[in-house]
A and B are shown apart, each in its own frame.
Chain A
Amino acid sequence: MLKLLKWNFIDYIRKYYLILLGIFAANIVFSLFFIGSFSIDFSFEYGIPVYRFYTGERLWVQLCIITISLLSISSWIERRTAPLEASVSMPPWKILLSKILIADITSTAVISLSGLAVYGINLIANPSVQPYYWISRPADDFSVILLYSTTAILAFIFAKSFKLTRKYPLPATGIIYIVVTRIYGMIYWTHVRSFPIFPETGIIILFVAALFILGIMLYKYRFQIR
């Protein structure tokens, strides 16, 4: 498993480091000039201006995560190197887990580092700004990114598992991604916001576990590259 993760990670970084740097830079520019982080990404806690490290609420961030996640399964999309992976005798859960971990770790790194850079820039503008999420809720950020990256990978596996969607996997992936994230949104609003029985991280872990099991079943019995 660790060897698979190592080789997939080396391949991922060597192939896509320029794209990842581009996403990192675009994230900073977008946060500063388009979202307008000087106002929107800040809230006031006890009268102190606090910088919130955004996670999943914004479309832009979701686009970053979905792109980074789909790059982690690019061998299934472009098909050229798929036979190399297909030759390895490895159970489906290990293959899937390695893809999800790569997507999650990379997305978290890109988003956190660009967030940190934006925070630094803001700090220069206003020295009294204090980071909020970054310090107090890293598990939340990581788990929200885990949710979105798992959903993106699961959506692609789903699209490649049925005749109807196999021909147009990327548009189908987008639609499935939206449907699954909306379902999560409904669960979140019902069980976390309206009736706060579970913490959000707990709901996300349950939701991701369900997606992961579904992904393994589809990968094992239905998924095919073409």
Chain B
Amino acid sequence: MSVILSVKSGIKKFGRKQVLDGVNFELPAGRIVGLLGPNGAGKTTILNTVMGLYRLDSGEIQICGEAIGYKSKRLMSYLPDTNHLFTWMRVSDALHYYTDMFPDFDRDRATELCSLLEIDERSRTQSLSKGELERVLIMLIFSRKARLYLLDEPLGGIDPLSRNKIVKTIFSQLDTESTILISTHLVKDIETLLDDVLFLNNGKVIYSGSADHIREDRGQSIEDCYMEVFKNA
């Protein structure tokens, strides 16, 4: 199975604060991986570093065997934890932007997802509620045919009905060549989705393994395992 994302000995400091402390992990293709940890654990820093917004002080990151750089960005689709669209944009402007800027953006898929998630293309992104905005961003991100989807706290504001739709129709249709990395501290919301988990605490990966192993061999839910691991951390 090919490796989509590999992080080796990732170290990052902001001032005196050690945010990433020797992070190591590899994500194979065709998996949905949860990057789980409390606030301040370093989850967003890892995603921002993979996207090139921050640079590691030392260590190495590779996407599909390529060192990160502008070329590797064509392989990634990123959903940040804030509204990153231009403030004046309507949903139709955002669709136009993505069509122009991302060659792998599938406009038909976007139209399909708009109707599935009940998104009005004429609405202004600034006037949308948190949940509506998250649906728009998920629609944009998953209309790209990327190898690696990076999602930072993606489902927090979405109502259970829409969340169910997203889980059933978007995440579960992932092709075997792509991988999703979901960062969150709301473990319960996504635990049924996950194939693998990475527990992150104080910039270190303190546990990594398959979700099935936790469920079957340890006989725990992911949330119970999370509570146990972080209690002892």
Chain A positions within 8 Å of B, measured between CB atoms, are 3-4, 6-7, 11, 14-15, 80-84, 86-92, 167, 220, 222, 224-226
Contact B51 A87 (CB under 8 A): yes
Across the interface, A82 reaches (CB within 8 A) one of B14, B55, B84, B102, namely: B84
Contact A226 B70 (CB under 8 A): no
- Please name the residue on chain A nearest to B100 by beta carbon: A3
Q: List 17 A-B contacts (CB under 8 A).
A: A80-B84, A82-B53, A82-B84, A83-B53, A83-B80, A84-B84, A86-B53, A86-B78, A87-B51, A88-B101, A90-B70, A91-B70, A92-B70, A222-B55, A226-B48, A226-B53, A226-B54
Report A225 CB to chain B, min CB distance, Å.
5
Determine whether the beta carbon of B86 is less than 8 Å from that of A84.
yes
B85, A7: Cβ atoms closer than 8 Å:
no
Bound CA span A155–B225, Å: 49
Q: Are B70 and A89 in contact (CB under 8 A)?
A: yes
The verdict on A87 contacting B55 (CB below 8 Å), with A7-B101, A80-B84 known, is: no
Q: How large is the interface on B (under 10, 10 to 19, 20 to 34, 35 or more residues)?
A: 20 to 34
A15 touching B88 by the CB < 8 A rule? yes
Chain B contacts to A: CB under 8 angstroms: 14-15, 48, 51-55, 69-74, 76-78, 80, 82-88, 97, 100-102
From A81, which residue of chain B is reached at the shortest CB distance? B84
Say whether A226 contacts B52, CB under 8 Å: no
**Of listed B48, B52, B77, B84, residue having the most chain A CB within 10 A:** B84
B73 near A224: Cβ-Cβ < 8 Å: no
Q: How far is B100's CA from A87's CA once the two chains are assembled, in angstroms?
A: 13
B84 touches A83 (CB 8 A): yes
Nearest-Cβ distance from residue A61 to partner chain B, whole angstroms: 29
B96 → chain A closest CB, angstroms: 9
In Å, the complex CA distance between A6 and B82 comes to 24
